Amino acid sequence: MSDGYALLPKEEDDIEMPEIYKGFGKNRRRWDDDTIQVPYKGRVRMNKSSVLKILLSLSVLLNLALIGFLLWTRFMPFDYWSKDDQQVSQTKPVIGLNGHSSSTPPSVDPNPNDAHTVPTAPPCGGNSSSRLKPPSYSNIFQDLRSQEIKSVEQYLFKIKDFELVEAFKAELTSNFIFSIELQTPNKSSALHFLDNKGKPPAREALAVLFLPSFNPPVVEEYVVGPLPKPTYHYRNPRRDKSIDFRIRQFNNVEMGHAIRTVQQALGAKIEQFLQKHYGAHFFGCVEQCLTFTSSAVSSVFSKERRLWINAMYMVEFSTLHALGFQFLLTMVGLDSSKWYIEKVWYADKLYDSFDDLIDKYERGETPKINLRFPKVQVGEDSLGGSLNIKGKQFPQVPQAGPRQYEPHGHRYTVQDEHVEYLQQWSFNYRMSYASAIQLYDVKFGGQRIAYEISLQEIIVLYAGANPATMHSQLADSAFGLSRNAHGLVPGVDCPDHATFLPVTLFGADHPDPFNYPNSVCIFEHNNNVPARRHKAHSYRSGSYYQGLVDNVLILRTVYVMYNYDYILDFIFHQSGALEIKVLSTGYILSAFYTNEEKPFGFRVLDDTLGSIHHHMFNFKIDVDILGTNNRYETLNFKVDNVTRSWYDNGQPIPQLSFERDLKHTEQDAAYKFNFDTPRYHVIYNNNMENKFSGKRGYRLHAHGFSKQMLPEDSGALNTYTWSRYQMAVTKRKDEEQVSSSMHAIFDSGDPVVNLQSFIDDNENIVDQDLVAWATVGMLHIPHTEDIPNTPTTGTEATITLLPYNYFQECPSMGARDAVRIDGQPDFRVNNHGIPQDVSCVPSHLTSEDISKQKDSIFMAAG
């Protein structure tokens, strides 16, 4: 017999210890009040009570084991022991990410390290064999690949007449390539390929050349092709004139010379002046430094190229800390030695130069501003205006918020910038260096809804009592929209399960084609509201329920234009509706607080006023309803006051009605919103009807039409003529491709692109290929809750394309995401084949995971 332990009765005076156990008393261990545990060798005699206690103990252990087994089978999938790597486990439904399905929240184990190891569910998304495969597709709208860009660059450098140098080696008088991107094909050629299986259009590039050595200096656009081995080039036929070099877009070469000019002009006296009155200066500082923003003076005000430089503290974030110190830099010609500081603004007064300011300051003829460099206040953990968490933190106990996940993986595919969703939606996207994101060949159910949908321009019109703010009539394409869209953060900017995609762009800010990571994300999203639903529960209507989850596909990008961040979504609904949504966040632009500034904003920090401004966004929507021959009409609401002969007293009862108003010309179709005359905007095909003789079309509905309040001929608005209208519908032409240009911030004296000219020729638009130019926006008077960052809540503007008599009924009736419940005669729930018994572990990026993607979030944007 092997050594072991035996359960024996506790020693009592009248019981004699067997001889074999004598001497082991000191080794005895208490088991309970009736027994002791001792080592033994050989057989052991036990009385009846001992045997009963052993049997009782075994019974308890067996019952505990049975309870544990039942609990295990309740929470573990039945296919746990299966050898197959299955995507979906056939178990009871698991509600929520933590595998908890009851109505009460799971308890938290206070000793998780002591818990038994429990087998886990498979990861969400399924295995590779179950995932959707991208279809075979030839995308004629795909952005240029790096090798294609390099081939264009090499070709252009061989053309001696251009005398090109590499941009990063260029001087003010050097010719260089500013940008290279795809030249989208003419629509007729594209449709011949897409619809008639014709020959694909030639793949070509659009190159923008800065040519200051030409006489006169110009900016020219050339089409280069065919790719990937170019052999020809020609002037861009969509640009009807050369571009005056004076109104060119900003570039690094110019800004480098501007900074050197400012550095030389400031001099020791001004730097000492700044240090004395602001506790900081521009150049040679270590910690307490000044930075600046610049506001271009449009060519409608000046024949020279001018910038108002607005000094600010270099802290998180600078635009909240304006100082009331500004100066006007005049850049005469291409010789920076002739550039000079023309005016200086300090303490609400204008001076002729830095010397003039110092002279009057030393004579005591100027007011004085005395500020100290911002510091963390007593009782605070971080600087006012910074985005470090501050104040009373909540929730009191750190708990993660809700997240979404995809139990079976993506229900969309994306490859080579071509996207398909639920076998219903398909579209192509691309990023234009000169403007912004563009969608092409947008289809639902195999039918084209729009040939192109694209963001054309973002402008912000500021107002204030100081020169820099007055001239801040900003067109963000001047700073390059697409090159400022990158670094989307998983779990915040887009869900963890989103697909993050880069774009490749070529501009003068990088010597080679540059891969901008995380520029676009695509994900499916539960909008957390039914797309439609109804519950009937009465003897008249029956007892049933049907509802559809509003699952949508979202393509998102975010443009970071120094202080402001613009979130742009294209949202694809299962009803055939397409929603364009833009939201604003980021930092406001401020002014130094003075009495003169009070009409233009509220005080938001000790010395800071948030400047009033107007955001406006212009979109191109090339709608093709069952072909390119379409009409535009409005359905105008009116009050019906007709007397009905059958009504008892013969008195009319006012009620709503509508009348149709077909727009015949472009000037008829230039729309300015009026709340007194509400109307629907419908684009339809007059030759295509539904079975009820309704003209099949799409309705354009906007939430966020914004009135341009300034006079149409004022200042920079000469180049933003699209902002005069909430919507304008014009006949589509390849040469009327865009409503703005990257030169718009300077060119209002003679705009490179003028949408008003598209309207003024007043062409017929009945049964034509039509383009809608739609504008939304929001007015903003900043307030203290905009500090430090403007929340997106309340900044939303949308344009929605809604099917209008296009389908026989709502196409979402085919969606399997719907749930049907019948209460009679038997209670039944129909989920239309969608697996309900889903148990999987969703992925989630931790802080450590995000840290590994640091190069995708922060990068040198040039």
- Looking at residue 380, what is its pLDDT? 82
Q: What end-to-end distance do the CA atoms of the chain give, in Å?
A: 83
Long-range contacts of residues 67-76, Cβ cutoff 8 Å, at least 24 apart: 72/118, 75/99, 75/118, 76/118, 76/119
Q: How far is CA 573 from CA 162, 177, 500, 528, in A?
A: 49, 41, 21, 13
What DSSP string runs through 365-424? -S---------PPTT-SS-TT--S--SS-SSSS---------TT--SEEEETTEEEETTT
Told to judge if 21 belongs to the known catalytic residues of this protein, a careful annotator would answer no
Q: Is 846 left (phi over 0), alpha (psi -120 to 50) or beta?
A: beta
Q: Is 240 exposed, middle or buried (0-12, 13-18, 19+ CB in 10 A)?
A: exposed
pLDDT greater than 50 at residue 23:
no
pLDDT greater than 50 at residue 681:
yes
For 244-277, how does the pLDDT look when each residue is reduced to its tens digit (9 = 90+)? 999 998 888 999 999 999 999 998 999 999 999 9
Alpha-carbon span 333 to 783, nearest angstrom: 42
Told to judge if 668 belongs to the known catalytic residues of this protein, a careful annotator would answer no
**Opening angle at CA 181, ends 177 and 184, nearest 5:** 140
Beta-carbon contacts of 193 under 8 Å, excluding residues fewer than 6 positions away, are 140, 199, 200, 201
Structure tokens at 605: 């920090």
CA 196, distance to chain mean position in Å, is: 35
At 825, is the pLDDT very low, low, confident or very high (cuts 50, 70, 90)?
A: confident
Contact 545, 829 (CB under 8 A): no
Per annotation, catalytic residue among 222, 564, 593, 684 = 564
pLDDT greater than 90 at residue 13:
no
- Looking at residue 24, what is its pLDDT? 36
Residues in the chain: 862
pLDDT greater than 60 at residue 156:
yes
For 65-75, how does the pLDDT look when each residue is reduced to its tens digit (9 = 90+)? 655 554 444 44
Q: Which helix (H) or strand (E) holds 274?
A: helix 252-278
For 714-758, how does the pLDDT look when each residue is reduced to its tens digit (9 = 90+)? 877 889 999 999 999 999 999 999 999 999 988 988 899 999 999
- Looking at residue 128, what is its pLDDT? 62
Alpha-carbon span 837 to 95, nearest angstrom: 10
Bigger pLDDT: 49 vs 710: 710
Per annotation, catalytic residue among 476, 493, 496, 786 = 476
Contact 740, 435 (CB under 8 A): yes
Structure tokens at 847: 């802080």
Q: What is the mean pLDDT of residues 220-232?
A: 98
- Looking at residue 208, what is its pLDDT? 97
SS3 state of residue 14: coil
Pick the range with the lowest mean pLDDT from 79-83, 441-445, 599-603.
79-83
pLDDT greater than 80 at residue 385:
yes
Whether pTM > 0.75 for this model: the answer is: yes
- Looking at residue 8, what is its pLDDT? 35
Contact 741, 477 (CB under 8 A): yes
Number of alpha carbons in the 13 Å side-chain half-sphere of residue 595: 0
Pick the range with the lowest mean pLDDT from 53-57, 451-455, 471-475, 701-705.
53-57
Beta-carbon contacts of 738 under 8 Å, excluding residues fewer than 6 positions away, are 435, 456, 620, 753
Alpha-carbon span 58 to 498, nearest angstrom: 54
- Looking at residue 30, what is its pLDDT? 41
